[in-house]
Amino acid sequence: MRLFFYSEDLTYPFDEGIKKTAKNIIQTLMLNNDVVSCSKYGMNNATLNQSVIRTNKFFLNIKLFKLINSHKPKCIIYLPSSSATFPSFFRLKVLRLFYSNAKIIMIILQPKYLSLFKLKLISIFKFYPDIALTPSSTVEKQFKSYQINVKFIPLFTNINNFSPVNNIKINRLRERFGIPSDKFIITHIGHINSGRNLEALIPLQSEGNQVVIVSSSSTPDDSPKDPQLKSKLLNNGILILDYYIKDIHSIYHLSDLYIFPVISEGGCIGLPLTILEAIACNTLVLTTNYASIKRIFKGSHKFLIISDHENFHHEVKKIKISNKNYSIDGQSIINKINNKFESRLKNAIR
C-alpha cells in the first residue's frame, strides 16, 4: 500500500518522545508498505525514505504538493510535532486538498486545549481527519467531544534495541558514565524543565541513593530547558548527563530503578516511551499515575510501581528493604504492547 507520512521535525538525533514515535511509526509502516516520509526539519534520510521540504507554516508549497501527488498515497498520515493545535488542523486540511483521494490520519501524542472559537472554525471548515490515533486518554476524550473519529493506540518499542544485560556489564557501564558502583542508582531520562516535576527527585538523593538524569538534546520550543532548575538539581547532588547518548539502553541497564515523576500531561507524550524501554530492559519502574499508564498496565505488576510523587521516598525505601530480585520478562510484556500497536495501526490505514 502507498502511504505518505509527514511530521515537522525529524531532526537527528531521535532522542525525544515525539521524534522517536514518528521514527518508530515510519519503520513499522515500511515493513509491509511503500512509504514516503517528509519533514520540514532534518536531513534527507534514505533509511526512512525521508525528504526535507522547507515549507511555510501552512504547508503551502509546490514541492510538497508534487511529492504527494507523484506518490499517489492511499493514506496520508500526519503526526504534528506541536500536537493538536489549531495550525495543525489547518495543515491537515491542506494535506487533504493536496490529494483528496487519500484517507487522512492524524496522530496526536499529547493534549492541547483549543478555544471555542477555534473549535467552531475547525468544525465549519471541516479540518477533521478521517481518523485520529492517540496514546492519550485525554486526547481521546477531547476528540470524541469534537465529534472526531478517534482510536486509542499504544506506542512501539524496538526490543532489539532495548533488552536485558548481565551484572558484569552493569558495573562497566557505571564506570563509563562516572556513576558510583556502590550506590542505589535511580535514573530519569527527559527534558530538564518545570513541566516534568524533577524537583520531586531531590529527596531521593540521600541514604545511599544516586539520582541520575539524562537530559534530551532535543527540547520543544514551548517547553525550553530551565537553567535554574538544572543548577538546583546539581547543587543537591543529582548527576546530570546533558548530552546525547546513542546507546541510551545503557542507562536502563546500569539502573537499579527507573523513575518517572511527571504529573502534567503537557510534560510528556501520553504514553512515556522511557517507561516502555525500561521495562523491555527488565528495569524496575516507579512512576506517577501519569496519563495512560494505568490503562496500558492494568492491575498490579511487580515490574511497575505507581505512586504519588510525594511517596516516592517511601517507595524507594520499601524497594531497597525488600531486597527482592525483581526478575521480569520485560520483552514479553513489551511484545504484547507492540502487537496491539501494530494491529491498530494496520486497521487505521485500511
Q: What is the 3-state secondary structure (H, E, C) of the chain?
A: CEEEEECCECCCCCCCHHHHHHHHHHHHHHCCCEEEEEECECCCECCCCEEECCCCCCCCCHHHHHHHHHHCCCEEEECCCCCCCHHHHHHHHHHHHHCCCCEEEEECCCCCCCCHHHHHHHHHCCCCCCEEEECCHHHHHHHHHCCCCEEECCCCCCCCCCCCCCHHHHHHHHHHCCCCCCCEEEEEECCCCHHHCHHHHHHHCCCCEEEEEECCCCCCCCCCCCHHHHHHHHHCCCEEECCCCCCCHHHHHCCCEEEECCCCHHHCCCCCHHHHHHHHCCCCEEECCCCCHHHHCCCCECCEEECCHHHHHHHHHHHHHHCCCCCCCHHHHHHHHHHHHHHHHHHHHC
Question: Could you read off the pLDDT tens digit of each residue along the chain, which spans 350 residues?
Answer: 999 999 999 999 999 999 999 999 999 999 999 999 999 999 999 999 999 999 999 999 999 999 999 999 999 999 999 999 999 999 999 999 999 999 999 999 999 999 999 999 999 999 999 999 999 999 999 999 999 999 999 999 999 999 999 888 999 999 999 999 999 999 999 999 989 999 999 999 999 999 999 997 765 555 567 999 999 999 999 999 999 999 999 999 999 999 999 999 989 999 999 999 999 999 999 999 999 999 999 876 788 999 999 999 999 999 998 865 556 789 999 999 999 999 999 999 99
pLDDT at 201 (0 to 100): 98
pLDDT at 326 (0 to 100): 59
| Predicted model pTM | 0.95
pLDDT at 180 (0 to 100): 94
pLDDT at 266 (0 to 100): 87
pLDDT at 155 (0 to 100): 98
Instruction: Note whether 223 and 191 are within 8 A (CB).
Output: yes
Q: Which three cell numbers stand for residue 11?
A: 531532526
